Structures are given as structure tokens and as C-alpha cells.
Structure 1
Amino acid sequence: MTYQPPTALPRELLDDPDVERALAAHDFGRVFRVARERARISYSKIAAECDIKPDRVGTLARGQGRITSFEKVVQITDALRVPGHLVGLAPRPWEMGADPAVTPRAEIGPPSMRRRTILQAATSAGLAAALPALHQPEAPRHITDTYVDRLRERTARLRRLDEVLGGGDTYRVYLSEVQATKALLRQSSCTGTARRQLTGLLAEQAQQAGWAAYDAGRTRDAVALYEESRTAAQDAQDTDLYGNSLAFLAYSVADDRRTAVAFAEDSCATITARTPATVQALLYERLAWACAVDGQAVGTEKALGAARQDLEDAQGGEPQPDWSAWVDHAELDIMTGRCWTELRRPLRAVPVLTNALSEFADDHARDKALYLSWLASAYLTAGEVEAAAATTSRALQLATGVASIRPRQRLAPLLDRLRIHGDIGEVRQVLEQAQG
């Protein structure tokens, strides 16, 4: 039987426009208050199911503080039985008939055991069966290198979805591709080097699916897919994809700063003279970010310099993998600005972000909203409150309707920082916009 928590919100509350707005804004304090007043769900029950201290639940219900971490947003969503789309997440396991109460928890057991447990959950037969059917080209009896090339072209086309859609929309699509490739490896015979090529494609697809999972707030699924990608890349003897799997792991564990830096350093250690320039730049970019989060200004600047030099070297027309071809000087400028913002160096961050974002199309709404959040943070650090409020407002506009948890996650603490300037008109407006 599927576990039904005592804090599950009744349908009439989930359909209430005020509750929907509170959920979209991740204003869980308001949701807690309404749950107690209208559904007689006590704060003590909410505290127990959401793993929050009872006094913290009361404080949130009084409008003080915010919930900003991925894991806690997901935990509250499951405890209140809120459909994922109402909070910017992909559908939750219980929406598809699975029971999150019996899903292995990431924080139990040593890291090696956690990775194995997560991987089993992410690739279980039940999850695969719940995926929507995508049209797949009919596979020949024997898989050849030419056929794998066709599949790689398909993967490249599907990757373009990530440019305009959030992970909540793309996760199932990408995961279904992973499952289809795994089925080919199990069931088909391969000629020549086709099996190794197909295994490399699996590594590439698992990274894309992992990225969509991360974007949708499925952090545990993302880590599991990155681990699966690492194994597949190693089996395929693809050093570039192996290094990128480590870089993705560094990105997904950024809260554990030392571990993130170690993963990023290991990813850069895979670089050789044969590594394509954009791959080198991508790995160094992610090392720069890990160093910035860890407060290492010297390491950040060194890694950014290496990435820039690699991009200069890429101008010679050497073929680049599709999965790294998006890395260019504009992308590096964005990462440079993000790093200097994280290091609280707004005089360096603001000019480079402003220049890069002036050429960044609104069509890429999720990414532009995220990048604007770093610009707004840099403005606020520099004391330019009005500019920070205006930039935050623009980011909120772009983030509306995007199936990604990350823009709201980024903007929530920024809005908290702005609240102390509530006597300024521009700040009042953006705070009202966030509540609306």
C-alpha cells in the first residue's frame, strides 16, 4: 500500500488560487498556516513529516524566513503530497504510483553504499515502465558503428530541448533514451567496435538525463545517473566523457565544498593532448566554479585562465563533441561573472555579466533567469539596491512557467536579502511581484 502521510493537503486546498501562488513562490510558511487553519493539520505533524523543528514551522508560518534548499523543498512537497508541477518539480514518485516512503534515502550509509542504492532506485524496472513511450528507430538485428552514429545524431537533436525547456519537462524524455540504449546493449548483437561506441553513447545520454534530473530537483536521481555515466564511460574507454561525469558530480555536490573541488580536480586530471578544446574549457570552467564556492580566489582565476586559453586554441577548426560545443566565450564570460559574484567581488562580476547578458536571448528563459540572479546578487553586494531589485524582477519574469526548480532556488535567498531594504520603492515592487 502506498503510504499516505497525515499532512497530505486535501484537493480543495491544492486547487485554491492563493495556495497555488504560495506553492509557486515556495512560500511554505503560508502553506503551513493555511493547512492548520483550514485542514486542521497541526504544526507538530508538519514538523514530524517534513523533518523540521516545530518552532521553525511556527516561525515560517508567521512569515519569517524561507525554505531554499533542494532537498528540503522536495521533502516538504512529498510530505504535503503537492504535485510536482505546482512547485516547479517533475512529477514525484508517488504521482506515478511509487512510494517515496520506501525510496532509499541519500543520507543513509557510507558514500559507496549510497551511490549503489540510489542507482538501483533510479534505474528500477518500475521507473522504466512509468516512462512515456517515445518513437524509437527500429533497430537492426546487428548494431553497427553507422547505426550508433544515427543514434548519436538523435541524442544531439534531443539535447537542443534543454536550451528552451526545464528539466521538469525533459527528464522523462532523456531518461527514456538511456533506458532504450541499455535495452540495445542487453538484447542486440554488435559488430566491430559498435558495442564500445554504444556504451559511450549511454554515458553521454546518462549525463544529459542527470542534468535534467538535477534541474528538476531530483538530486538523488542526478547523482545516480552521473555515477552510471562514469561507469559507462570507463567501460567505453572514453576519457572525455569520464572526465565530464566527474565534473557533473562536482557540480551536483557543490554544498560539500571540498568534495566538489576534489571531483573537479580529478576531472581536469583526465585532460590530455588529445582532449578537444571545448571539453578542456568545460572541465576547467567547472573547476573554477568549485573553487569559487570554496572561496579559493587564486584557484578560480587560474582555472578561468586555463579555460579561456583552451577556447582560444579551439579556433583552429578542430571538430568538437556536440555535448561540449555550446561552450564558447560568451558562456565563459557568464561563468566568470558567476565566480566573481560567489567570491563577493562585484567590481569584477558586474561588467562581465552585464556585457554577456546583453547578447543573451530571452528564449533561453531558465538560463537567463539564473544568470540574472547572479548579476542581481553582485549589484546587492556592491550596495546598488535599486539595480539589484530591477534585475531580480526581470529574473522572476523569465522564470515564470519554467519547469526548473533552480531559478526559484537562486532567487529565494536574494529576495530575503532585499527585504531589509523594503522601504525602497523598487524593492517593495519586486517583493510584491514574488508573492503574486
Structure 2
Amino acid sequence: MPKSSPPPELPARLLMHPEMIKACRLRDFGRVFQMVKRHAGIYPSMIAKRCDLTPSRVGEVIGGKRKLLHMDVVERISDGLRIPGHMLGLAQRTWEEPPASCATDRQVPSHMTEHPASNSPPSSDVESILASAACTSPSASMLQALRSSIEDYWRRDDEHGGEPLRPAVIGQLRYVESLLKEGGRDGMQRELLSVAAELARLAGWTHFDARQFSQARLYFSQALELAKDIDDRQFMANVLACMSLQSTYQDRPVDALALATAAQDHARATSGTPRVLSMLAMREAFAHATLGSRSGTHAAISEAHRHFERISHGDPDPSWVTYFNEHKLIVDTGIAHGRLGEAEIAEPLIADALRRESSANRRGRAFHAFWLARTQFQQGKLEQACHTAMDALTPASAVTSERVTGHLREFSVQLSPHRREPAAVAFESQLRQLLPTGVSGSPRP
């Protein structure tokens, strides 16, 4: 393919279309090629030329007679059609803008930039044409695709951290906002508002995980307003719980407690399920522990366990709370005790949960290993704590999460009085090898 004349980028609305996102995620290139033809006017012969494929092979893929599985072919399709690497599960391609250019909040992702010479938005008539071309009339299948992509974002958030997902999440949020502006049936508008609220919460979470608290609060506030528009008080409780957790990280325990209490009020007002109430009670426990209130922490932990014991198979749990299982209850109980300084109680709970932690949840493993190391260190078990902290380094190095690396930096600072101990030396050496910036600061937990 001639390098002197790079192929033009696909329309932004096509790249943000939920069906396109889903097709790319599944590497369903038959569907990808069909959508590229329909919405970008790139016909099979042109696809073949741009992706270094034979026309007959492209035709077989579109007809469902052939699958494209080899990585080099996937990379050629990404480069030839200008599909951003993250959409196909690839590393960032050389033709994409550097990550730093996408880090600014609310900035347009790199794959949505048309030409460097023009920074102004398209005219209204071009916007109308693009809207028509993208088939933006909401449908049940579109909503299903949107919700499926959100579930996938959360899975990938656990595996890789949220920051790499942020451009795609915010781009999809903007897409749903454009659909809402076009209006439509009341029932469909309500569903779109619900999807927008979930995407806004996810965008807030990716900023929170990166310790970009101001931007996180903006997106959480947007999610709260969207949920309020459809009177989804359980989801409002969910967002308030996220904001409460963030306040504990910002050393604002009074705010954290107020937000956790408000979350529980919203959930009770709509007969929140036992699982929802259990999760919210644990958020309250975190707030009390950060305040240093032993009685408040213990009471909230007991309430969380009482609610959890009431869970039954037929409960109408919202999808966003299904992650809160028995394993999560145990580890959060341990962390609450750990925040309070009750290391002897916390250690066996966190250790048991860590043994059962899924290897796919890399951030969770790193996060919980840190808390286990912290409780061991509080008890004077220096060597054991350092070995546990080293166990956190491998999963931590595989995710982009400033929240996790910040905890490890904090642990490094706590080791300062013991720098010459062999276990501490081994930890520091591995920390510098896997996380080169690991000792640059000491944020609070």
C-alpha cells in the first residue's frame, strides 16, 4: 500500500455506531465490511485493495463463507480501513495520534479527527447527511448492542484498567447524546437516557481510576442527572456510591458518609434489592473507617452482611450490582477493617478473597494484594508483607490504573525505615523494574 497517500479515515459516526463497535469487538469482518460499504461507500474491490486482500476473499467474508483470524490480516484491515487499534483488540497503530493527545477530558478521540487543516465542526447540512448515513433511528437491536458494549467495557476495565478505554467510552456517550437530541418515541428515549447514564458513570470511573478526580466528578454528576431524568433512583444510588468511594480517596470522609447515606435513602425509596443495599452499606463502612469511627464501621459491616444473607435467586438485581458477590463482600469487609487499622481481623479475610480472585481481574488482584501487604506490614510482618506486595506488581504492571500504582508507591514510602532489609530491597528492585515511576510519590489510600 503506498505510504505517500494514506487512506482517508472512516466517518466518525460509523466508528461510534454500536453495531460497528460490536462487530469490531467480535472481529466479525463480514459485518464490518458490510457497514463500511453501506455507510462509507467503500466497496468490496476497494476494501480488497486497501487491506491487501483478494476481491474473492473479501466476497467470501461478506458472504459468511470465510473467517479472517490471522493477526497480520487483522492489522492490515485496521490500517487499510483506518479502524483504531483498540476497537479490534490491537495496540495503538502507528497512524493514530499519540495517547497524550487523547488524554484531555472531553477532547475528540483521534479516530474522529478528520483533517489537520480543519478544526471547525462540520456544517449543519453535513451533520444531517452523516446522521442519515449512520441510520441513527434507535432500535431494540441498537440498544442491545450498546448495553453489550458497556458490559464489555467493564470486563476490559477489570483486565486492563479504564484509561485506554476512555476515548471509546466518551465517544459512545457523545453518540448516544446525539440520538437523544434527535428525539423519538418516549419509551426509546427513556432507554437511551438509561444507556447514557451508564456510559457517563463508566467515563467517570475511568477518570477516578486515573485519580483525575475533578473530571470524574463531572461525569458522575452527569450520570446522576441522566438517571434523575428517568427517575431511576437505584441507579442514582449506584452513582452516589461511586462518588462516596471517590471522597474516601480524596480524604473527605464526611462527604463520603453523606453520599453513602444519600445512596441508601434512594435505594430504600424504591425497595432496593438486598444485594444493592449490601453494597451500599459497605460503602458506608468505608466512610466510617476513613473517619476512624469503630462503632460506625462495625455497624455498617453488620448491616451489609445482614442484607447479603437475604439475597435470593429471584431478586430483580440491576446488572450493575451483580459483581457484588460473596467474594466481593468478604474482601470489602477486610478492607474496611484494614482502613480502620484492625489488621489482625482484616488479613485472613483479604487473604481468603485473594486466593479466590479471578486471574482475569488483574486490577482487583493487584489492589487486594496491596491491602493484604498493608495489613501484614501493620502487624510487623515485614518479609511477608514485601513478598505479598511483590505479588501485586505483576498484575499492576499489566493494567493502566493510577489508583493501583499510587497504592504501591505509598507502600514503598512506608518501607522507608526498612530500606536496607533484604525483603524491602527485593521489593524496591522489582518495583523499579516493572513500574519505573513507582517511587515518585505517596498518595493517600
Q: State TM-score, norm by structure 2.
A: 0.66
Equivalenced residue count is 316
- 1:409 and 1:387 map into 2 onto residues whose CA distance is 21
Counterpart CA distance in 1 for 2:375 and 2:216 is: 29
Counterpart residue type for residue 311 of structure 1: F
Residue among 259, 274, 282 paired with 1:285: 282
- Secondary structure of the equivalent of 1:314? coil
Query: CA contact under 8 A between 1:164 and 1:366: conserved in structure 2?
Result: yes
Shift of 1:349: 0.3
- Describe the shift of the 1:375–1:96 C-alpha distance in structure 2 as closer, same or farther (beyond 3 A): closer
Task: Tell me, yes or no, if structure 1 residue 245 matches structure 2 residue 239.
Answer: yes
Q: Quote the residue 1:313 is aligned against.
A: 310
Matches within 5 A, 1:412-423: 412-423=409-420
Paired with 2:412 and 2:311, the residues of 1 have a C-alpha distance of: 40
Deviations along 1:276-327, one digit per CA (max 9) or x if unpaired, are 2322222222111121111122222222222222222222322322211100
| 1:235 counterpart residue number | 229
Q: Distance in 2 between matches of 1:154 and 1:388?
A: 39
Indicate yes or no: 2:267 matched with 1:271.
yes
- For structure 2, which runs of at least 5 residues remain unmatched after alignment? 1-97, 114-130, 434-445
Distance, in Å, in 2 between the alignment partners of 1:280 and 1:238 is 15
Say whether the 8 Å CA contact 2:204–2:220 is kept in structure 1. Answer: yes
Structure 1 window deviating more from structure 2 (414-423 vs 338-347): it is 414-423
Q: Does 1:177 align with 2:162?
A: no
Asked if 2 retains the 8 angstrom alpha-carbon contact of 1:132 and 1:172, the reply is: no
Match of 2:339 in 1: 342
- 4+ runs of 1 displaced by more than 6 Å? none
- Of the structure 1 ranges 168-177 and 140-149, higher mean CA displacement relative to structure 2 is found in 140-149
Secondary structure at the aligned position of 1:270 is classed as helix
1:262 to 258, 261, 268: 258
For 1:52-201, list aligned pairs within 5 A: 91-92=99-100, 95-96=101-102, 122-123=105-106, 127-128=107-108, 130=110, 142-143=137-138, 147-187=142-182, 189-201=183-195
CA distance in structure 2 between the aligned counterparts of 1:183 and 1:362, rounded to whole angstroms: 38
Distance 1:412 1:97, change over 3 A: closer
The 5-angstrom pairing of residues 389-408 of structure 1 reads 389-408=386-405
Cα contact 1:282–1:307 (8 A) shared by 2? yes
Give matches, 1:18-57, under 5 Å.
Answer: none
Structure 1 residues 381 and 148, CA gap change in structure 2 (3 angstroms):
same
- Measure, in 2, the Cα distance between the counterparts of 1:308 and 1:370: 22
Q: CA deviation at 1:156?
A: 2.3
On the 8 A contact 1:143/1:191 being kept in 2, the answer is: no
- Contact 2:162/2:206 (<8 A) preserved: yes
In 2, distance between residues paired with 1:274 and 1:97?
A: 40
Q: Matches of 2:145 and 2:358 in 1, distance apart?
A: 30
Q: How far apart are the structure 2 equivalents of 1:379 and 1:148? A: 47
- Looking at structure 1, the residues matched to 311 and 345 of structure 2 have their Cα atoms a distance apart, in angstroms, of 25
C-alpha RMSD over aligned residues? 2.5
TM-score (norm 1): 0.67
Structure 1 residues 148, 277: closer, same or farther in 2, change over 3 A?
farther
1:53 match: none
Between the aligned partners of 1:167 and 1:96, the Cα distance in structure 2 is: 14
AA aligned opposite 1:271? A
Q: Give 1:213's match in structure 2, choosing from 184, 198, 207.
A: 207
Indicate if the aligned counterparts of 2:102 and 2:167 stay in contact, CA closer than 8 A. no
- Greater relative CO (CA pairs within 8 A, separation 6+): 1
Write the deviation string for residues 120-176 of structure 1: whole angstroms up to 9, x where unpaired. xx44xxx1364659xx9x876653567534532332233221221111212222222
CA separation in 1, counterparts of 2:186 and 2:103? 42
Q: Which residue of 2 aligns with 1:50?
A: none
Gaps of 5+ in 1: 1-89, 99-121
AA at the equivalent of 2:285: A
Q: 1:188-210 CA distances to partner (integer Å, 9 max, x unpaired)? A: x3224221222122111111111
Deviations 1:392-433 (A, max 9, x none): 111122211321111210011211122212342212211222
Please say if residues 390 and 430 of structure 2, whose CA atoms lie closer than 8 Å, have aligned partners that are also in contact.
yes
Query: SS at the partner of 2:108?
Result: helix
Q: Distance in 2 between matches of 1:398 and 1:162?
A: 13
Tell me by how many angstroms 1:221 deviates. 1.7
State whether residues 109 and 167 of structure 2, in contact with CA within 8 Å, keep that contact through their aligned partners in structure 1.
Answer: no
For 1:159, the aligned partner's letter is: W
Aligned partners of 1:313, 1:139: CA distance in 2, in Å?
46
Secondary structure of the 1:360 match is: coil
1:330 equivalent among 327, 335, 350: 327
2:377 corresponds, among 376, 380, 390, to 380
Q: In structure 2, what is the equivalent of residue 49 of structure 1?
A: none
AA at the equivalent of 1:260:
A
Measure the CA separation in 2 of the matches of 1:248 and 1:299: 20
Instruction: Give the whole-Å Cα distance in 2 for the aligned partners of 1:96 and 1:129.
Output: 6
Aligned mates of 1:303, 1:177 — CA distance in 2: 37
